[in-house]
Amino acid sequence: NPQLLHALGMLEVRAGNVARARERFLSVIKAHPSFTMAHLSLGRLEEELGRYDTAARHYAAGARAVQPDGRLGAVQLWQSWTRMEQRRRRFNTAHELYKRASGIFPDDTQLLIEWGKLYLELDQTHAARP
């Protein structure tokens, strides 16, 4: 059950057992590669540890995970990934990620709002307008 395994991983995170949490999330991903919450949680765990390249790999893997309905990943993976890149001041990377994500999730208002905030942060308000 991926939800149960993921919940056990989250318990390990809360207990401060990073290695065990990572193992739990990886076991979920191995058994259920389309379970995006495990990719997201593992990406966030690695990001919190400052392992940004590893976090990006997990966000990307989850974003590419084909869902039972044929969609790719979940918008939350893209949002977390782009926010991480913004915090790292990798604005070109964040822009490209927003662009790709908006092609997959064109109607996600939160994604579009966050993309607009990137332009505001860069003082490029003209680019934030439709």
With residue 28 as reference, give the H or E element that holds it: helix 18-31
Do 84 and 107 fall within a single domain? Answer: yes
Percent of the chain that is helix, strand, coil (3-state, to 5) = 75, 0, 25
Cα end-to-end span (Å), the chain: 43
Q: Do 78 and 26 share a domain, yes or no?
A: no
Whether 20 and 54 map to the same domain: the answer is yes
Percent of the chain with pLDDT over 70: 95
Pair 43, 90 in one domain: no
Going residue by residue through the chain, which has 130 residues, state the pLDDT in tens, using 9 for 90 and above: 999 999 999 999 999 999 999 999 999 999 999 999 999 999 999 999 999 999 999 999 999 999 888 888 899 999 999 999 999 999 999 999 999 999 999 999 999 899 988 888 887 766 655 5
Same domain, residue pair 94 and 61: no
| Shared domain check, 106 and 60 | no
Question: Based on the domain organization, do 33 and 92 belong to the same domain?
Answer: no
Distances (CA, A) of 115 to 14, 38, 44, 84, 85: 31, 24, 20, 13, 12
Q: pLDDT digit string (tens) for 63-89?
A: 999 988 888 889 999 999 999 999 999
Mean pLDDT score of the chain, rounded to an integer? 93
Q: Is there a single domain that holds both residue 79 and residue 66?
A: no
Q: How many domains is the chain built from?
A: 2
